[in-house]
Structure formats: structure tokens, C-alpha cells
Amino acid sequence: MATTDRQATTLALAHALSAAERGLAVLPLSRTKLPALRSPHRDDPAPSPCHGECGRLGHGVYDASSDPARIRELFAAAPWATGYGIACGLPPHHLIGIDLDVKTGTDSSAALRELALRHLFTIPPTVVVVTPSGGRHLWLSGPPDVVVPNSAGRLAPGIDIRGAGGYLVGPGSRTGQGVYAAAPGTAHLAPAPCPRSLLRLLLPPPRAHHPTPPATGGHGQGLVQFVLAAHEGQRNTRLFWAACRAYEDGIGPALVDALVEAARGTGLAEREARATIASAARMTGHRP
């Protein structure tokens, strides 16, 4: 490993430990901004859902910790890490990240100002992290009893939300594009409470209740709940896995509508959900 990489890893660990002192749970990241440790289940023929219950490292944001000994263990297992992620949605801050991206044809800062005027809220002084591309991450804290989901562009073009199951690249991280840094005058601040009017915009609309067909029993309900628990980036995979199990167990046709409704609740479009379920049916030798 080059000296510069070793220095970047040492600095990333130091910044991560500093963040942990503020109660933030962290995990090592590679230069690509992805978790530095690969999944221990990547070669399993049919991986079961695991958030670290197996006891091994490599479960992405579920590895995140604020315990210094655990953080050092994570970085020791990933000596190529040059940055760190900060898990959102966890106590004590229940962090919510407002990611103001820089994209051609969009002005995310102007979009946020317009939302603030329309819905009568102001962003209080809080931690702001400047990205290598010139974007900004605003750190806000949420109520402990509210789960804010991840979303991309749902609030407005160029505005992504990092909530439960997501993470923010921490200041001091070095990526292939450059270094993330706290904006002047904000590094010492605590994440400010998310304004209530903004918080309402971040929550998905209430879902219509469609009970699981009685014929599917408890196993069918478990598959539906498995899909409902999906985070962004897991939605299609979880839906496909659940649909395969349903068809293999003979309850696929009866469970289709409930699985589609669950997938829609996680943010998938109905057309995409039905296409995924149809693929699962074909994969298991059934007619969609």
C-alpha cells in the first residue's frame, strides 16, 4: 500500500473516532464511497437476510458502531479504507441527511429554499459538509419515534434524503473525487432538530391497508413483512427473493397483490414490482 493510502486510512480512522465521541455510529468506506468490507455472504448460493447476526464483518451500514474498539477492528479489517460513513437514523441523534447534489440543469439549493417558503420552515444552524463536487450535506436530527426513509429526488430534483438504513460520507473522508470537509463555522455544531414541516415532507404517505390473503397463512405474512422492511437498494432483491419463496411454497398466486402493495410501500412502482414477481414466477417454473 502506498504511503499516501496509509496516511488516508490513518486520518479516516482518526476522524471516525472523533465522530464516535459525538455519539455517531461509523463504518469504514473505500474511495468509491461504498462500505470498505465486502459481504461475507457474497458467495452464498441463496443468501438469507442478515444484518450482522452471523457475527462476521461486512454488512454495510449494519456494521456501524460508536464503540472505539469496534471501530478500530473495522478499520483493521479494511486497511484500504480512506473514508468513513456515518449511519443515519440511530440514537442519540437519529440523523437525517439532506443531500443537495450538483447536477446539470438542477439547482438543489434553490429547490430547498422554494420548499422552505412554500411550507413555512427554515433550516436552523447545523452541521454542513461540503462534497468534492461542490454539493452539500445538511445534518438534522429526527424524533426517536419516527423512521425517515431514504429517497432520491422525491423531495425535489437534486435533493436526496439519507435516513434509516442509509449513511453520509463523513467530513475528512478522501474519495476518488476529492475530500469531504465541514463547512467553516459548522464543525462544532450538533445536528439541529428537523423542522416539523420539513419532517412531514420526508415521510411517505400513509399506505392503504391490504391484509394478506388468509389462504397464505403466517408464512405469507412473513414474506410480505420481509419486503416491507427493505431499504433503498434492497427493494427489488427482497421482492424477488420473497416471490420465489412464495411460488416454491405454492402460495405465489395468492400473494401477488400483497407483495405488490408491500413493494409499492417501499417506493417501487407497481409496474416494476409486478415485473419482478413475474420474473420470480418464471424462475421457479410457474406461469406469471
3-state secondary structure the chain: CCHHHHHHHHHHHHHHHHHHHCCCCEEEECCCCCECCCCCCCCCCCCCCCCCCCCCCCCHHHHCECCHHHHHHHHHHCCCCCEEEEECCCCCCCEEEEEECCCCCCCHHHHHHHHHHHHCCCCCCCCEEECCCCCEEEEEECCCCCCCCCEEEEEECCEEEECCCCEEECCCCECCCCECEECCCCCCCCCEECCHHHHHHHCCCCCCCCCCCHHHHHHHHHHHHHHHCCCCCCHHHHHHHHHHHHHHCCCHHHHHHHHHHHHHHCCCCHHHHHHHHHHHHHHCCCCC
The pLDDT-based confidence of 138 (bands split at 50, 70, 90) is: very high
pTM for the full predicted model: 0.71
pLDDT score, position 1 = 45
Ranking 39-48, 140-149, 165-174, 273-282 by mean pLDDT, the lowest is 39-48
